[in-house]
Homo-oligomer: A and B are copies of this chain.
Amino acid sequence: MFEQASHSLKMRDVRITDGFWGKMVQTVCEKMLPYQWDVLNDQAEDAPPSGCIRNFKIAAGLQTGDFSGMVFQDSDLAKWIEAAAYSLSVHPDEEMERRIDEAIEYVAKAQQQDGYLDTYFTIKAPEMRWTDLRDCHELYCAGHMMEAAVAYYEVTGKRTLLDVMLRTARHIMQVIGPEEGKIHGYPGHPEIELALMRMYQATGEEDLLRLARYFVDERGKSPNFFVEEEARRGTEGHFPQNISLGLSYFQSHLPVREQKTMEGHSVRALYLLCGMIDVAVHDMDEELLQACYALFDNATQKRMYVTGGVGSTSIGEAFTADYDLPNDIAYAETCASVALVFAAQRLLHVHADGRIADIMETALYNTCLAGMAQDARHFFYVNPLEVVPEVCEHNPDHRHVLPERPAWYGCACCPPNLARLICSLGSYAYSMDETTLYLHLYISGSAQFEMQGKKCSVSVETWYPYDGRIRICPRGGKYRLGLHLPGWCKSYCLKINGEEAEALCRSGYLLVERTWQEDDTVELILDLAPRRIYANPMVVHDTDCVAIASGPLVYCAEEEDHGKALHLIHLPRQSCLVRTEKEMPGLGRFVGIEADALTAALPVPDALLYGDCPVAYDRPVRLQLIPYYLWANRGKGEMRVWLHEGEK
């Protein structure tokens, strides 16, 4: 298995220009990251003070005051630094780099003599350090700052933060580990496992690898560390409410190699999976890798919304049961889909499998993107597939489901997570091994890489996923292109230098090999004909319903285009689905889907609640669907992904 492993290109060697993503990346770099910087500095007008940078300044002794925010507030800055670092590679900006350096200065100064870094405990309770690995996020925050350190080092070559985080890692190794006298524990919120592996890849320090491996393998062993830790600490923890969620909330109900289903908090579960994959790949640990595939398959083949959302319940933001996918009270956190993209990327590096790239696309183009408003200043954490605003407002079972994106939350996990994903898309779009450059995502731009000692490049031009035509110019010598042929694609056309060509398709990738000359052009034309998606019959909530998609984009209906009671719309099975390019206020330029459908007259206000007449779906209506990621950009209203399918 491991002999086919590929790796990402260097971040700074990928450009994203024009097309679908160019504007998105620009928006994130020019609007979202500066706005987030203001939020972190308590200077955004429309967001409550974060206190995040202030916490670092206080811990650094630069300022006095109390800690503000959640126990994991530090991670907001870490994710921002990581995202901002990536942004420099796609959108160089001196002012941004200055901000990052300023942030790093605070982080470095907030680090304690012994390498410890966590402003919550430094400010509030230094004597309580490392007493509550389950709930207090010290390892989680360290993990995010390690990722930031690696990102900034890789993009700029500057290693101040990397050195800070190496000191933190060494401090952790002195406190936690298998040796006698150390804590035999692991984090309540996984993240540091994958972060240590990134630090190891950047520095080659074997200790980092060993600690990551220890965290992965120690987890869930019996007797359970969290149970013993709580017994030592007592139940008056910082987040005592977590107790009732059970060990599976923390994925510590079983050793990770024995876990067969995705359980508990979805972001925790998926970050852990990323760390597990990293360790399995490095160690060529076939058993661990099989456990990873089993968990990824369970998450994506039994517990994932058609939009790539995961985590069906708001209670614990967690996975529930196979095929339990309620659309109206879904949680489907933005961060969980971001984490699903992370996991898919890692598995694609093990083996380029088109089905995994399909899942990466689904999560990316639907739930991840839906997390951000078109103004890049409002964000969804929860991504339902069906919304009726009146019900959200009056039924507390829906209290987590917002019909409009708010500006910023106190727990601001999702916005910076989205930012770091979007600014580093290049590392998801491409990977390479000794002979092949894989294109997993089609993104307008270019990539530089070295293949068997030669400098090579590809450039890509496309308005994918709105246009199926992808024009690729490979340069630099003999190598193979591995072009992701999405599973949804029923017909495609491959042209080399304008001539139709055939290519071997292996595991969902078209393999095109030659010695590339100047002016060589590869064109891949994917048929984006709208299609009907049906859920597995075991999904109770989607019975007799259909979802519409074009390419990787799942579509939805909004009240703005149809009036109220979207659930009454029935799309006849034989109705023709038509793609039409549109430009609309709030939505910009996009491709919609239209179809003839039927609906029912709204009942009079005093109509019987129960009667003996079936509803007559006899009113023609022109269904106007927009991409799911664009919903809720035109004010508050109903939204629905799964439409009733009808006969006529």
Chain B residues whose CB sits within 8 angstroms of the CB of A539 once the complex forms: 609
Q: Are A536 and B609 in contact (CB under 8 A)?
A: yes
Chain B residues whose CB sits within 8 angstroms of the CB of A326 once the complex forms: 328, 397
Q: Are A397 and B534 in contact (CB under 8 A)?
A: no
A322 and B603 alpha carbons, distance in the complex (Å): 13
Interface segment out of the listed A14-22, A135-143, A176-184, A310-318: A310-318
- CB proximity of A646 to chain B, nearest CB, Å: 8
Number of copies: 2
A212 and B169 alpha carbons, distance in the complex (Å): 70
Of all chain B residues, which has the CB nearest A323? Answer: B609
Q: Does A394 contact B (CB under 8 A)?
A: yes
Q: Are A321 and B606 in contact (CB under 8 A)?
A: no
Residue from the list B318, B393, B397, B568 in contact with A537, Cβ < 8 A: B568
- CB proximity of A529 to chain B, nearest CB, Å: 12
Interface segment out of the listed A90-98, A265-273, A611-619: A611-619
Known pairs A301-B608, A306-B610, A609-B302; A313 contacts B395 (CB<8 A): yes
Of all chain B residues, which has the CB nearest A615? Answer: B537
Q: Are A397 and B302 in contact (CB under 8 A)?
A: no
Question: By CB atoms of chain B within 10 A, which of A320, A388, A546 has the most?
Answer: A320
A608 and B535 alpha carbons, distance in the complex (Å): 8
Q: Does A540 contact B (CB under 8 A)?
A: yes
Known pairs A600-B537, A615-B537; A543 contacts B644 (CB<8 A): yes
A313 and B399 alpha carbons, distance in the complex (Å): 11
- For chain A, residues 276 to 323, give those with C-beta under 8 angstroms from any C-beta of chain B: 300-302, 304, 306, 312-316, 318, 320-323
Residue from the list B313, B567, B607 in contact with A396, Cβ < 8 A: B313
Q: Are B531 and A543 in contact (CB under 8 A)?
A: no
- For chain A, residues 572 to 607, give those with C-beta under 8 angstroms from any C-beta of chain B: 573, 600, 602-603, 606-607
Of all chain B residues, which has the CB nearest A531? Answer: B612
Known pairs A314-B397, A395-B321; A612 contacts B534 (CB<8 A): yes
- CB proximity of A197 to chain B, nearest CB, Å: 29
Q: Does A647 contact B (CB under 8 A)?
A: yes
Q: Are A536 and B388 in contact (CB under 8 A)?
A: no
- For chain A, residues 513 to 545, give those with C-beta under 8 angstroms from any C-beta of chain B: 531-540, 543-544
A538 and B564 alpha carbons, distance in the complex (Å): 10
Q: Mark A637-648, 1 if CB is under 8 A from B, else 0.
A: 000000011010
Chain B residues whose CB sits within 8 angstroms of the CB of A611 once the complex forms: 533-534, 536
Q: Mark A354-373, 1 if CB is under 8 A from B, else 0.
A: 00000000000000000000
A644 and B600 alpha carbons, distance in the complex (Å): 18
Chain B residues whose CB sits within 8 angstroms of the CB of A610 once the complex forms: 306, 533-536, 547
- CB proximity of A72 to chain B, nearest CB, Å: 22
Q: Are A609 and B304 in contact (CB under 8 A)?
A: yes
A602 and B539 alpha carbons, distance in the complex (Å): 11
Chain B residues whose CB sits within 8 angstroms of the CB of A304 once the complex forms: 609
- CB proximity of A8 to chain B, nearest CB, Å: 28
Residue from the list B322, B388, B397, B602 in contact with A329, Cβ < 8 A: B397
A388 and B314 alpha carbons, distance in the complex (Å): 19
- CB proximity of A506 to chain B, nearest CB, Å: 21
Q: Does A102 contact B (CB under 8 A)?
A: no
A489 and B602 alpha carbons, distance in the complex (Å): 27
Q: Are B537 and A324 in contact (CB under 8 A)?
A: no
A391 and B611 alpha carbons, distance in the complex (Å): 30
- CB proximity of A17 to chain B, nearest CB, Å: 32
Chain B residues whose CB sits within 8 angstroms of the CB of A547 once the complex forms: 610
- CB proximity of A92 to chain B, nearest CB, Å: 41
Q: Are B395 and A615 in contact (CB under 8 A)?
A: no
Q: Does A24 contact B (CB under 8 A)?
A: no
Q: Are B396 and A315 in contact (CB under 8 A)?
A: yes
Chain B residues whose CB sits within 8 angstroms of the CB of A394 once the complex forms: 320-321, 324
Q: Does A565 contact B (CB under 8 A)?
A: yes
Q: Does A390 contact B (CB under 8 A)?
A: yes
Q: Are B316 and A534 in contact (CB under 8 A)?
A: no
- CB proximity of A567 to chain B, nearest CB, Å: 5
Q: Are B301 and A606 in contact (CB under 8 A)?
A: yes
Q: Are B395 and A603 in contact (CB under 8 A)?
A: no
Chain B residues whose CB sits within 8 angstroms of the CB of A533 once the complex forms: 610-612
Known pairs A395-B312, A603-B538; A614 contacts B645 (CB<8 A): yes
Q: Are B607 and A536 in contact (CB under 8 A)?
A: yes
Q: Are A536 and B573 in contact (CB under 8 A)?
A: no
Residue from the list B322, B568, B606, B608 in contact with A543, Cβ < 8 A: B568
Residue from the list B537, B612, B647 in contact with A647, Cβ < 8 A: B647
Q: Are A397 and B397 in contact (CB under 8 A)?
A: yes
- CB proximity of A439 to chain B, nearest CB, Å: 24
Q: Are A320 and B391 in contact (CB under 8 A)?
A: yes
Q: Are B397 and A301 in contact (CB under 8 A)?
A: no
A328 and B327 alpha carbons, distance in the complex (Å): 13
Of all chain B residues, which has the CB nearest A390? Answer: B321
- CB proximity of A12 to chain B, nearest CB, Å: 37
Known pairs A391-B324, A531-B612, A645-B614; A536 contacts B313 (CB<8 A): no
Q: Are A565 and B538 in contact (CB under 8 A)?
A: yes
Q: Mark A369-405, 1 if CB is under 8 A from B, else 0.
A: 0000000000000000000101101111101000000
Chain B residues whose CB sits within 8 angstroms of the CB of A313 once the complex forms: 395-397
Of all chain B residues, which has the CB nearest A300? Answer: B609
A442 and B85 alpha carbons, distance in the complex (Å): 78
- CB proximity of A604 to chain B, nearest CB, Å: 10
A610 and B532 alpha carbons, distance in the complex (Å): 10
A162 and B331 alpha carbons, distance in the complex (Å): 53
A397 and B314 alpha carbons, distance in the complex (Å): 8
Chain B residues whose CB sits within 8 angstroms of the CB of A329 once the complex forms: 329, 397
- 19 A-B contacts (beta carbon < 8 Å): A300-B609, A306-B610, A318-B396, A320-B396, A321-B390, A321-B395, A322-B390, A324-B394, A328-B540, A329-B397, A534-B611, A534-B612, A536-B603, A536-B607, A536-B608, A536-B610, A537-B568, A538-B603, A544-B644
